[in-house]
Structure 1
Amino acid sequence: MDNCVLTQVQAPAAILDEDIAFVIPSYQRPYVWPDDAVVKLFDDIFRAWQWDACSNYYIGTVLTAPISHIEGAAYELIDGQQRITTLMLIALAFRVTGQETALNPLAERGNAPRLTFAIREQVQALLGYWSGLDGYQYPGEDAVKTNPYLTRLDDALNVLKQLVGAIEKDRRIELAGYIHTNVQWVNNTMPGSMDLNRLFATMNTRGVQLEQSDILKSMLLRRISTDKSRYEAIWQACEQMDNYFERNVRQIFGGTDWSDMLPEHLRHFDPARFLLSEEQNLEAERPGSGLTISQLADSSYPDENEGSSALDLDDTVYCQSIIGFPLLLMHALRIYTARSGYADIGGRLHSERLIDSFSVLVDASETEVKEFVECLWEVRYQFDRWVVKWVERSDEDERQLRLTDINRSPSNGNWYLTRSVKKLFELVPLQSVRHFTGEHSAQYWLTPFLGLLCMETNPSENTVLDIMERIDNQLSLAEASQKQASFELLSGDVSAQRSVAAIIEYLKTPCGTKFEHYWFQKLEYLLWKRDHSQDEKVLNYRIVSRNSIEHVYAQNEEFKNEMKRDYLDAFGNLVLLNPSENSSYGYQSVNKKKADFKDRSHYNGSYDSLKLKEIFSLMGQGEWSPNLVEAHQEAMFELISCHYS
C-alpha cells in the first residue's frame, strides 16, 4: 500500500470535517493568477450555482503528498496551488463581509492559516492577518506592493471582496453553502516515499492528454464512411487555436495549390481547391484506417514551422485565442442547430459539457455530421478574421487584444498569404468589453456574431462593427438569460428587453461597489469611440480586465473630509480600475489623485481610465463636489442614451 496513489473527491466541507491543512513547498512559484483568471473561476462557480444549485462544480485535479512532521492531517500541494489558494481567498472574501457562512472557517486552522507557504513568513503573516488570527501582523503596504509572493494575493482578494460584496446578503449565504459542499476536486495523494521534487519537475512534460474534443471527434467521425480523411483534416485545421487558420490549412491540406489563393477562398470549404497530399490519400485508403481513441491520443500533428515560407507573418505577429477549441465547437454547434431549425442546446455553455451538448449529433446521419464539420470550417474562418486575439509583436512590450489583416502579397515571383496587425478601430475595444465582462466560460456574444458573419459575403469593417454593436446593445438590455438572448439573435431580435431609461434609473441608484462592471467598461468604449481620433493618449488606451471599483472621492479620505453617502456611492463618483491602479490612488484627496493621474498618463502615454479623465477634466482647477458628481453622471447618461438611440 505504501506505493499506491490514493484518489478521492474532496470539497471544502471535507477539508473542514477532517481538519486538513495544505503546505505550498518552497520549490513552488508564487501565487500568479491574474485578475481575469480569479474572476473567471468565481464567475463559473456563481453561474453553476445559479443554473443548478444541486449540481457539483469541479475545479480539476490536485496532487498532494502526506506530511508526517505536522500534527494532524497535512498535505504538501505538489500541483493545484493556484486553485486551492484562490479557494482560500474566496473564503476570506466571504469572511470580511461580516456574515456567518459555512465557508468562513475554511482559511484558518486553529490559530494558524490553513494554507501555509514554506519559508514564506510574510505570506503567513498576511494570511493570518486577513483571517483575524492572534499574533499575525500586516506586513505593510510597501511589502505588499513589492513582494511577488504578496502582491497577487492582495490583488486577488480585493477583486473577490468586490465580487462577493456585490451579492445580496441572503444569496451570499446560499452561495457560500454551495461552495462549501458542491465545489469539488479530485485529490490524488502520492505515497510518502516518492521523490516529490522530481515528480513536480517532470509531471507535466510526459505524454499527451486525451481531451473531450478528441473523444467527440472520434464519436462524430464514426458516422462518416466516405471521405473520412478529408473531414478529419478539416477538424484538425480548426482545432489548433493558437495558430492562424490559413496557416493550419496550409500545413494540413498538403496537396493544395497556393499560387492563386485569395484570403476569401478560405471562407467556405471547397473540396476542389483544398486537397490532401498523395500520402494522406494513400493512408486513408488503407484498410482499418479509421481512428480509435488511442490513435487520437497518440496522433502527431504537422510541425508548426513546416511550410512557414508560404505564410510569413509581418512584424513577427504571434497569436493566442481568447477561447479554447471546445468552446468554439459549442458555438459552431449552436449556429448549425439554428440553421437546421433545431432548438438551442440544453444546459450551460461550458467546455466541460462538450460531449453532453453534442448529443444531437452523436447519432446523426453522415450528411448531418459532414454539414456540421463544414459549418465548423466557416465559423473558424470568421473567428480568425473578425474576433480579437492576444497578439504579440516584435516592436511591442506586451501582448494585446488586436485584430489582424490577412493579405496576399508577392515575393520572388510567387504569391503568399501574410498577416499584419490591423489598425485599431472600434471593433477591438467593443469586443474587449464583451470578453472581460461577459460570462468567461461561455462568451455568448460569439454565437450571434459568428453566425451572422457567416451569412455575409464580404462585409466591410463598418458592417461588422454595426453587427457587433447591435449584438452588444441587445444583450446588454436583454431580460432573458444571455444564453437565450444570444441564440435569438441568430434569427432576429431578442424577445424581451429592458428600456434604456430603465438602465439609467438603475445607474442613478447609489450602489457603490455593487454596480455591474459592464456599464463602466461600456462607457470606456463609448468615450474611446468619441475621442480616439483627437487624443493620442485615448488612442493608446486599451480596455483590459478591470475588476476594482474605486471611489474618486474616497470613502475614508486622508484628511477625514466626508461626502454625503448618496453622492459618495453614486455612479458619477466611481471608476473601474485594476487592483494595482486602485491601490496606487488609495485614500488620497481627489486633487492628489488628479496629480498622480496626470503623471501616470504622461509616463504611460495613455490613461488609467477614460471615465476618470472625464472627471478630472470636469474638475478643472476646482474641487470635486456633489454638484460635479451629478454633472459628470448626467453627461455619462447622455452618452449612453445617444448610443442606444
Structure 2
Amino acid sequence: MSNAPSPIIPLTISALLAELTDYTIPIYQRNYAWAAPEIEQLIQDVIDYAKSSPDKRYYIGTLVVSADTSKARSAFITVDGQQRLTTLFILHAVLRQKYGSVREQHMKLRFQCRPLSDDTLQAIANGNIAKGRSAYATTIMAAYDICQLALEDKLTLERIDIATFMHYFYEHVVIFRVGLRQDTDLNHYFEIMNSRGEQLEKHEVLKARLMGVFNNDVEGARYRACFARIWVACSNMNRYVQHSFPKQQRHYLFGDRDWNKLTIASFDDLVSTIHPEEGIIEGTGVSLSAILSDSDKSLIPVEQDDDNERFHSVINFPNFLLQVLQLEVGTVEIPLDDKRLLDLFQAYMPDEKDERITFVKSFIFHLLKYRFLFDKYVIKREFSTEEDRWSLKCLRWYSPKPNQETVGYVNTFEKSEGAVYSDNRRILMLLSMFHVSHPMQSSKRWLHAALWYLSQQSEVHAEGYVAYLERIAKSFVYDLHLATDKQNGYLTMIHQPVFSRRAASRLDPDKLRFGVINNNLIFNFLDYLLWSKHKDTNNRIRCFEYTFRHSKEHYYPQQPTHPEDIIAEKHLHAFGNLCLISHERNAQLNNALPVDKRKYYSNDKPIDSIKLYLMMQYPHWHIKEIEEHEEEMLDLLKAHM
C-alpha cells in the first residue's frame, strides 16, 4: 500500500456534503468548543463574500485528514479543522430544517468515544431533538441555536435574502481537504498542529510590505530595525506591551522608574536611541544585523514575564491593525474585516516614495501609541488561580527595596483592588458591556470610539472617560438601534463633540419586540442603567458582571407544557417578557414557567441579567406583570435619552 499523501482537494460545501464519506473526530481532539464569536464570524464572512464577490470562491480553510481503512466506504479521521467542519455541518442542518435547503447530504460526521456529542449531531442532522435539550451536548446545541439566531439577525441587518446566502454557501464556499501519509503518527501530528505558529499570515505580509518602503542604506536599516521592534512588541495582544521591550528600553519609552506613560512623540524619537556608529540599540547590546537577520525570534531578547497567560485581549492583532488604520484615516469609515487587511492598507498607501515613508513612520508610531492606550485603558480578561474576571489595570514599575525592581498591575484609576463603587468599576462595566454585545472582531466600533477619545486627551480623567462612554452607548442605542430614523453612521456618532437632546418620540417601541431587536446592546445597556440605579442598595446587583449572553429568552414561555397556559403573542413577545441569558440556560429553562425559573436561580447563582433578576422579584408573572415591567423599563430608557 502506498504511503504517499492524498492530493489536496478543493471541495465546495455542496460537494463535501454530497460525498459518500464518513468523517470521524478522534478522542485525542478536544470536544466541540466554538461559541458565538467564532460562529457569527463564519456566517458574517460568508455574507460579506456573497455581497462583495458573488461569483468568486471563498476559501474557508483546510481540513487535514487521514484515510480510515477500517471502514467499508470512504472514511477519514479528522486531524485538523474539526471545529470548522462541525460548524458547517450544524449550519447546513439549520438551513435544511428552517429554510428548506434541499441539498443532498450523504456525508456523515461522528465523534469517537463521545456518545453524547455523537447523539446530538445525529439528532440535529435528522431534525429530531426528541429527548429534551438537557439530554444533548450543551455546546453543540448552543451552536445550533446560535446559527439560527445569527442567520436571522444578519440576513436582516445585511439585507441579503436566504436564497442568495444558501447559493453562495453551498456553491462558492470552498474547504481544502488535505490527506496525510498513512504511516503518520496522528497523535504526534495533532500535537504539532496545535503547537505550530509558523504559517505566513496576512499581517506578516503587511509587515514586509510596510518595512519595504525604507531605503537599503544604514538609515533604512535603523528604520527597519525599529519598525520590527515595535511591530513584534505590539503583536502579542495578551501581554502588556512594556514587557515586549528590553528592560532598559522600558525606562526610556515608558518613563524612568515608572513604565506607565509613553514618553516618545514620534517614530524618529525611537530611532534616535540607536547609535549610528555602532549599530547597537541603546542599552541592549544587540546589533542591528542580529535584529534584521533570520526571523522575529532573533529580535531583542526579553524577560519571561507571567502576564502572557494571565491576561487575554478582547481583540486580535490583525483587527487591532485595522483599528489603528481607521484612526489614521479619520472620518472615512473602513470595514474592520481582517480578510481584507492587505487590500485596505494598499488603498491608503500613498504612491509617492517620500509620502509612503511618512505614512509608514506615522502608522508604526501610532501602533505603539494606541497599543499603550489599549493596555492601560481598555479591559482585558484576567485569569487567576481560582477564577477569571474582567480587569482594567495598568502596569507599573516599583522598587519595594533598594536594588530590587519589580512590576505590578493596579487598577488604572485607583489603587484599591476591590472598589465596587469606583470610576474604575464603572468604566470596566461600560467596556465589558460593549464587548459582550459585539463579540465579533469586525463589529468593535466601540473600541475605535474609546481609542479615539483617549488619543484626544493630554491626560485621561476617569470622569470624562465615563461620560464619553455613556454618551457613545446612548448614541448606539437611541440613534442607531431604536431610532425611528437613523440619521448618523458610527463615525459621526463617535466624533460628534456635542450630543443633541433626543425626543422620546424618536424611540421606536416596536424595535423592542422579540424578532425585531437587532442588537444585544439594548439589553446590556438597560442592565447598565439598572446597575447604576440599584447598586448602592442591592448587593446581588452590585456584584453583577457582564458575560456572553446571546439568547433572547421569554420569561413566560412560548410553549408551556399545558396548552391552556399559552398567552397571546402581543404579550408573549413584548419587551416586558424578554431578557438576555446564555444559550446553555435557555436550553435548560426554555419551556419552564416563571415559578420554576425562580427556583433555578437560587441566591448563590450569579445573575445572568439584572432585568431578569427584577422580573423574578414578582411573586406572580402574567400579562399584568409583563405590562407593568415593560412600562418601568421603557420609562428608564426614556429618562436617559
Shared fold by TM > 0.5?
yes
The question of whether the paired residues in 1 share the 8 Å contact of 2:251 and 2:258 is answered with no
Shift of 1:374: 1.1
SS in 1 for 2:175: strand
Pair 1:534 & 2:541 matched: no
Match of 2:349 among 353, 357, 361: 361
Matches of 2:250 and 2:629 in 1, distance apart? 59
Match of 1:557, SS?
coil
Give the distance between the partners of 2:94 and 2:11, measured in 1 at CA.
21
- How far has the Cα of 1:567 moved from its partner? 0.6
For the structure 1 residues 337 and 117, does the alpha-carbon distance in structure 2 shift closer, same or farther, using more than 3 Å as the test?
Answer: same
Does the 8 A contact of 1:319 with 1:391 survive in 2?
yes
Shift of 1:548: 1.4
CA deviation profile, 1:515-556 (whole Å, cap 9, x unmatched): 533322222222222222332212221111111121111112
Q: Say whether residues 1:230 and 2:226 are aligned partners.
A: yes
TM-aligned CA distance change 1:47 to 1:276, over 3 Å: same
CA shift digits 1:145-185 (9 cap, x unpaired): xxxxx221122212223333555698233322222123332
Given that 1:234 and 1:377 are in contact with CA atoms closer than 8 Å, whether structure 2 keeps it comes out as yes
What pairs with 1:120-139 in structure 2 (closer than 5 Å)? Answer: 120-132=114-126
- Given the superposition, is the C-alpha separation of residues 126 and 444 from structure 1 closer, same or farther in structure 2, using an over 3 Å criterion? same
Matched to 2:374, the amino acid is: F
Deviation for aligned residue 1:85: 0.5
Q: Which residue of 1 aligns with 2:92?
A: 91
Q: Are 1:25 and 1:117, in contact at CA under 8 Å, matched by a contact in 2?
A: yes
1:350 aligns with 2:350: no
Asked whether the equivalents of residues 485 and 494 of structure 1 are also in contact (C-alpha less than 8 Å), the reply is: no
Residue 616 of structure 2 aligns to a residue whose secondary structure is helix
Deviation per CA, 1:242-295, whole angstroms, max 9, x where unpaired? 111222234583784964446234574586689469844676555xx7847xx3
Amino acid aligned to 2:301: P
Is 1:585 aligned with 2:589? Answer: yes
Q: Indicate yes or no: 2:107 matched with 1:116.
A: no
Does 2:472 match 1:474?
Answer: no
Q: 2 CA distance for matches of 1:202 and 1:408? A: 37
366-375 or 276-285: which moved more? 276-285
Candidates 217, 228, 250, aligned match of 2:207: 217
Letter in structure 2 aligned against 1:361: M
Q: Residue in 1 aligned with 2:640?
A: 643
2:523 corresponds, among 517, 520, 523, to 520
Deviates more, 1:316-325 or 1:351-360: 316-325
User: For residue 386 of structure 1, what is the amino acid of its counterpart?
Assistant: Y
| Alignment partner, residue 416 of structure 2 | none
Q: Distance in 1 between matches of 2:368 and 2:80?
A: 36
- Give deviations 1:59-118, integer Å, cap 9, x for gaps: 322201233343444322111111110111112222332x31256x44xx2xxx721122
How far apart are the structure 2 equivalents of 1:493 and 1:20?
59
CA contact (8 A) 1:253 1:276 kept: no
Task: Tell me: CA distance 1:279–1:190, structure 2 relative to 1, closer, same or farther (3 Å).
Answer: same
Amino acid at match of 2:202: Q
Aligned residue identity for 1:127: L
Aligned with 2:325 (options 327, 333, 336): 333
Q: How does 1:283-362 map to 2 (within 5 A)?
A: 291=292, 295-296=294-295, 299=298, 302-305=301-304, 318-338=310-330, 343-345=332-334, 348-359=335-346, 360-361=348-349
Q: Which residue of 2 aligns with 1:400?
A: 389
Paired residue secondary structure (1:608): coil
**For residues 633 and 183 of structure 1, do their structure 2 counterparts lie closer, same or farther at Cα, with a shift above 3 Å needed?**
farther
Contact residue 334 and residue 344 of structure 1 kept, 8 A:
yes
Q: 1:456 to 1:256 in 2, by over 3 A?
A: closer
Q: One-letter code of the match for 1:413?
A: P
- Where does the alignment leave 5 or more consecutive residues of structure 2 unmatched? 413-418
* Distance apart, 1:349 and its partner CA: 1.7
Aligned partners of 1:581 and 1:117: how far apart in 2? 24
Which one-letter code corresponds to 1:543 in the other structure? Y
Kept in 2, the 8 Å contact 1:102–1:177? The answer is no
Corresponding residue for 2:381?
A: 390
- Sequence identity of aligned pairs in percent? 22
- 1:21-57, Cα deviation, whole Å (9 max, x unpaired): 3221233222122344333333443444455544544
One-letter code of the match for 1:390?
Answer: R
Instruction: Give the match for residue 607 of structure 1.
Output: 607
CA 1:143 to 1:301, structure 2 compared with 1: closer, same or farther past 3 Å? farther
Q: Contact (CA 8 Å) 1:65, 1:78: kept in 2 or not?
A: yes
1:388 CA drift (Å)? 1.0
Residue aligning to 1:454: 455
C-alpha spacing 1:159/1:490, structure 2 compared with 1 (3 Å): closer
CA distance in 2, matches of 1:100, 1:497: 46
Cα distance, 1:378 vs structure 2: 1.4
Q: What is the SS of the residue equivalent to 2:34?
A: coil
Partner of 2:343: helix, strand, or coil? Answer: helix
Structure 1: gaps spanning 5 or more residues: 145-149
Return the letter of the residue paired with 2:320: L
Structure 2: which amino acid aligns with 1:554? P
TM-aligned CA deviation for residue 373 of structure 1: 1.1
Instruction: Find out whether 1:195 has 2:182 as its counterpart.
Output: no
Paired with 2:176 and 2:500, the residues of 1 have a C-alpha distance of 41
* Shift in alpha-carbon separation, 1:120–1:301, aligned structure 2, 3 A: farther
Contact 1:449 1:471 in 2 (8 A): no
Report if the CA contact (8 A) 1:220-1:361 is conserved: no
Structure 1, 372-381 or 68-77: larger mean CA deviation: 68-77
SS in 2 for 1:253: helix
Q: For residue 43 of structure 2, what is the aligned residue in structure 1?
A: 42
Matched to 1:557, the amino acid is P
Cα 1:82/1:285, change in 2 over 3 Å: closer
RMSD of aligned C-alpha atoms? Answer: 3.6
Q: Read off the aligned partner of 2:436 and give its amino acid letter.
A: F
Q: For 1:53 and 1:441, how far apart are their aligned partners in 2?
A: 23
The answer to whether residue 247 in structure 2 is matched with residue 247 in structure 1 is no
How many residue pairs end up in the alignment?
603
Is 1:177 matched up with 2:140?
no
The answer on whether the counterparts of 2:242 and 2:250 sit within 8 Å (CA) in structure 1 is no
CA contact (8 A) 1:66 1:76 kept: yes
2: CA distance, partners of 1:52 / 1:499: 41
Asked if the contact 2:251/2:257 (under 8 Å) is kept, the reply is no
TM-score of the superposed pair, with normalisation by structure 2: 0.83
> Contact 1:263/1:417 (CA < 8 Å) preserved in 2?
no
The 3 A distance-change label for structure 1 pair 12 and 71 is: farther
Partner Cα distance (1:170, 1:349) in 2: 20
Task: Compute the displacement of 1:626 (Å).
Answer: 1.3
Q: 1:25–1:77: 8 Å Cα contact kept in structure 2?
A: yes
**Matched AA of 2:590:** G
Q: Mapping of 1:25-174 within 5 angstroms? A: 25-97=26-98, 99-101=99-101, 105-106=104-105, 109=106, 114-132=108-126, 143-144=135-136, 150-166=137-153, 167=155, 171-174=161-164
State the partner residue of 1:564.
568
Aligned with 1:155: secondary structure?
helix
Q: 1:252 to 1:411 in 2, by over 3 A?
A: closer
